[in-house]
Structure 1
Amino acid sequence: MKTFKDKVAAITGAGSGIGQALAIALAKQGCNLALSDVSETGLANTVALLQAFPVKVTTQKVDVATRDEIAAWAKTVVEQHGKVNLIFNNAGVALGSTAEGVSYEDLEWLIGINFWGVVYGTKEFLPYLKQSGDGHIVNISSMFGLTAQPTQSAYNASKFAVRGFTESLRQELDIENSGVSATCIHPGGIRTNIAKAARMNNSVTSLGMDPAKSQDAFDKLLRTPADEAANLILNAVQKNRRRLLIGADAKAVDAIQRLFPQGYQKLFATATALQARFMN
C-alpha cells in the first residue's frame, strides 16, 4: 500500500494515544476513518481534532474484548464506507502484578482486550480487506512482546501472543498473495495514558516494590510522542515491513534479547530489585 488517499482505515482505541495520533496522521493523507473506542468522550475528542480534514469519519463505541461487537462494527464500517482497507488493532491496557498475585479476573480482562481484541479485529475485518484488493492489518504488540519483565507476566503473555499470531498470519498472507499484508508493531514507551489507566495490585510489594511509586516510574518511561509513533507505523505499512520497533528503548531491549537470550532475565531481575530499593 503506497498511498492512504481515498482508503478506509478502521482503528480501535482511537479515543486517545497512538490510536488518536494514527487517525490524525491518516486524515492528513486523505484517508477516510472508522474509529472505535470504549470511551465515547475520547472518540468525540478525536473527531473534534479531525474537523479540519476533508475526509469521512464514522465512530462507534466498541468493546474489543467482545467478539459480537467487533463483528457488528466491521460490517457497519463496510456499509458506511463501501469498503475497508486497513485495520489497526491498537486498543490495549496494562496491569502490574506478580504472576502469583494476579487475579483470574484481571488476567482475563487484560487478555480479553490485548490479545482477543487483536484476534477478533483481525478475523472479522480480514474478509473485507481481501474484498478491497489492497489491505493491511496492523497489530500492536510491545517491546514487552520481545522480552519478559518482573510484574508484567499478564502483559507479556498478551503481547508475546500478539507477536506470534501476527507473524504466523503474515506468512499465510504471503503464501496466499491475496492483496492483504500484516505488520507487527513493538513500541517502547509511548507518551499515552496507558500508565495512568493501568491496574496495579499490592502483590508487587513481595518484590520490594511500592505500587504507587512503580506506576509513577512507569509513566516517566513513556517518552516517545504518540504522533511520532503514528508516522513511523504508517511508514512501515507503506514499506510493507514485517515488524517495527519504535523508540531507542525498544531497540535496546531487542538487542539485549539477541545478545543474551537467557541472561537478560537475570539482568532485568537485578535491575528491578535495585530500582525498588532506590525508590524506597
Structure 2
Amino acid sequence: MKSFSGKVAAVTGAGSGIGRALACALAAEGCHLALSDVDAEGLAETARLCENRGVNVTSATVNVARRREVEDWAKNVVRDHGQVNLIFNNAGVAHAGSVAESSYTDYNWILDINFKGVLYGTKTFLPYLKEAPGGGHVVNISSIFGLFAQPGMSSYNATKFAVRGFTESLRQELDMEGGSVSATCVHPGGIKTNIARTARMDESMSELMGEETGALTANFEKLFRTTADDAAQAILKAVKRDRRRLLIGTEAHAADWMQRLLPAGYQGLVTGALKLNRQRQSAARRS
C-alpha cells in the first residue's frame, strides 16, 4: 500500500496519544477514518481535528475488550464507508506490580484490552480487508516490552509478547496466501502519551523498586522522548514499505540489540541496574 489517499482506516484508541496522531496523519494524506475509543470526549476532539481535512470521519465509543462491540463497529464501518483497508489495533493500557502481589483481576483486565482487543480487531476486520479494493493492512501495536522483560511488568510483558507472536504468525500466514493483505507489528519505546499516568500500579512496585508509586510514574515519563506525531509518521512509513517489524525510538533499538546479544544474560543486567537504583534511593532517604 503505497498511498493512503481514498483508503479507509479504522483506528482504536483514537482519543489520544498515538491513536490521535495516526488519525491526523492519515487524514492529512487523504485517508477516510473510522475512529473508536472508550473516551467519548477525547474521541470527539480527535474527530474534530480530522474533519476539516476533506475526508469522511465516523466515530464510535467502543470497548475493544468486548468482542460484540468490536464486531458491531466493524459492520458499521463497512456500512458507512463502503470498505475498510486498514485496521490499527492501537488501544492499550498498562499495569505494574509484582507477580506475587498483582491480582487476577488486574491480569484479566490488561489481557482483555491489550491482547484480546488486538485479537478481536484483527479477526473481525480481516475478512473486510481481504475484500477491499486497493489492498489491506493490519497494524498491531506491541511495545518495547514485547522485546524484553523487566521486574514488575509481568502483566504488560505478557500482553505485548503475545501481540508480537500473534502478529508475526499472522504475517507469515498472509505471506503464504499471497493476497493483497499484509501485517506489521510495532514496538514503540518511550512515547509521550498519557499511558503512564493512567496505568494501574500496585503498591508492590514501591517495595520492588524502592520508590513511591508517584515518583515511579514521574520517572517513567522522563524516559518518554518520542512524540506521538513522530511515532505515527514512522508507522505510516512502515506500512508503505510493508515492514514486518517497526522499532520506534533509540531505547527500542537498544533493547532489541540487548536481547539479541544476551537473550538470557540481559536479565542480570536489568536486575543489577534496578538493585543499584534501589540502594541509591534507600541511601538518599537515610541521609
Q: 1:210–1:276: 8 Å Cα contact kept in structure 2? A: no
Aligned counterpart, 1:53: 53
Distance 2:177 2:158 in 1: 29
- Contact 1:213–1:279 (CA under 8 A) maintained in structure 2: no
In structure 2, the partner of 1:65 is 65
Contact 2:51-2:57 at 8 Å conserved across structures: no
1:11 is aligned to: 11
TM-score (norm 1): 0.98
Question: C-alpha displacement at 1:171, in angstroms?
Answer: 0.1
Q: Decide whether the 8 Å contact of 1:11 with 1:34 is kept in 2.
A: yes
Q: How many Å separate the matches in 2 of 1:43 and 1:206?
A: 37
1 CA distance for matches of 2:200 and 2:276?
A: 23
Equivalent residue number for residue 156 of structure 2: 155
Cα distance in 2 for residues equivalent to 1:174 and 1:94: 32
Match of residue 94 from structure 2: 94
Paired residue type of 2:71:
A
The match for 1:194 is: 195
SS in 1 for 2:204: helix
What TM-score, normalized by structure 2, do the two folds share?
A: 0.96
| 1:244 correspondence with 2:225 | no
Measured in 1, the distance between the counterparts of 2:206 and 2:76 equals 46
| Structure 1: distance between partners of 2:280 and 2:235 | 36
Post-superposition shift, 1:276? 2.9
**2:169 maps to which residue?**
168
Asked if 2 retains the 8 angstrom alpha-carbon contact of 1:204 and 1:211, the reply is: yes
CA distance in 1 between partners of 2:176 and 2:238 (Å): 20
User: What SS does the corresponding residue of 1:190 show, helix, strand or coil?
Assistant: coil
Q: Deviations over 1:236-271 (max 9, x none)?
A: 000000000000000000011111111100111111
- AA paired with 2:53? F
Cα distance, 1:275 vs structure 2: 2.5
Distance 1:63 1:218 in 2: 26
2:285 counterpart residue number? none
Give the residue type in structure 2 aligned to 1:128: Y
Measured on the aligned residues, the alpha-carbon RMSD in Å equals 0.9
Mapped to 2, the partners of 1:159 and 1:205 lie a distance apart of 23
The CA deviation at 1:205 is: 3.0
Aligned residues: 280
What is the CA deviation profile of residues 146-190 of structure 1, one whole-angstrom value per residue up to 9, with x for unaligned ones?
000111000000000000000000000000112100000000000
Q: Residues 90 and 141 of structure 2 are in contact (CA less than 8 Å); yes or no, is this contact kept in structure 1?
A: yes
Match of 2:226 among 220, 224, 227: 224
CA displacement, residues 55-82 of structure 1 (integer Å, 9 cap, x when unaligned):
0000000000000000000000000000
Shift of 1:206: 3.2
Where in structure 1 are there 5+ consecutive unaligned residues? none
Amino acid at match of 2:68: D
Q: Distance in 2 between matches of 1:7 and 1:128?
A: 13
What does residue 28 of structure 1 align with?
A: 28
- Paired position in structure 1 for 2:44: 44
Q: Any stretches of 5+ residues in structure 2 without a counterpart?
A: 283-287
Tell me what 2:270 maps to.
268
